[in-house]
Structure 1
């Protein structure tokens, strides 16, 4: 067998570590306003800011060996459409709760509709396990389900949402 040229330098696949479900304090690294099929949203890119899993998403990103590396520490917050619908009322309540959590978590900060000022701010995140499936298989990931104030995380005064398995229809395929 002939040895290939960069055998010693070739990175190998590492089993991806999963963040355990729970409450974490995160630091916002970037905020981007996007439009997709659901409407307009703020996309927060963050990393774990404290504790045993500090810098979890940076390490995850650095350990990815494929060319199309992806930052996995994200959260989508949809913007209200202001259309008077029941769904919009729910979106407004969720949006305002997140902005109030930012204000409570960052003394002196007041939300002024400039999303770029959220970069560098801290907030609490509740992370749950979510089942996924595609043509290549299925499995579980841990993702940020909700943003809350930092003190609730520190004081452990929150209720963890349930994990999200796929519905029967998706599981029937497997």
Structure 2
């Protein structure tokens, strides 16, 4: 066999997941991304305090593939202002996130400039979420909400409940393929 570049004999280990709970994070970047269905404010952060400090920077540096991913993100749907039920939910979520950032940074007030979020502290809440792909399932953790950093430091937050997959309807019983056999007829064997 011909040797190849980049060979290194090392034990393969699964990627560490941030446990469900609350953390104080520092916002590293925030940008608005447009999709065909609407806009999203993607807030990238890293853990700023505690034993998991620098968690996402370490995770990023440990990735060997070319298309590295920053996993410390929270995606806020930007409200469309169309009066729909989803729009109302988006406005409440967006407003709650900005409240959390404002209350974590004395004197800061959201001024509709996402670049101004860089360097701000915020509390992040992580929950477990179940995934399914090609018939396989498993669990990971995701940032599901922002809260004020003081609540995280004081331990006065509730860890969000795990989010399992939606229950699918049970498949219908298969129809049988047996031929009806008359009671008075000869058996086929």
Fold match by TM threshold 0.5:
yes
TM-score, with structure 2 as normaliser:
0.81
CA 1:170–1:41 in 2, change beyond 3 Å: closer, same or farther? farther
- Structure 2 regions of 5+ residues with no counterpart? 172-189
**Greater helix share, 1 or 2?**
1
- Structure 1 regions of 5+ residues with no counterpart? none
CA 1:48–1:85 in 2, change beyond 3 Å: closer, same or farther? same
Q: What's the RMSD between the two structures over aligned residues?
A: 2.3
Aligned runs of 1:34-53 on 2, under 5 Å? 34-53=33-52
CA 1:7–1:41 in 2, change beyond 3 Å: closer, same or farther? closer
Alignment-derived partner of residue 143 in structure 1? 142
Aligned runs of 1:16-95 on 2, under 5 Å? 16-95=15-94
TM-score, with structure 1 as normaliser:
0.88
Query: For 2:107, what is the secondary structure of its paired residue?
Result: coil
Deviation string for 1:66-120 (max 9, x for gaps)?
A: 2221111111011111111222122112111111111110011111111110011
Q: Work out which of the two has the higher radius of gyration on C-alpha atoms and give 1 or 2.
A: 2
Query: For the residues of structure 2 that align with 1:37 and 1:148, how far apart are their CA atoms?
Result: 29
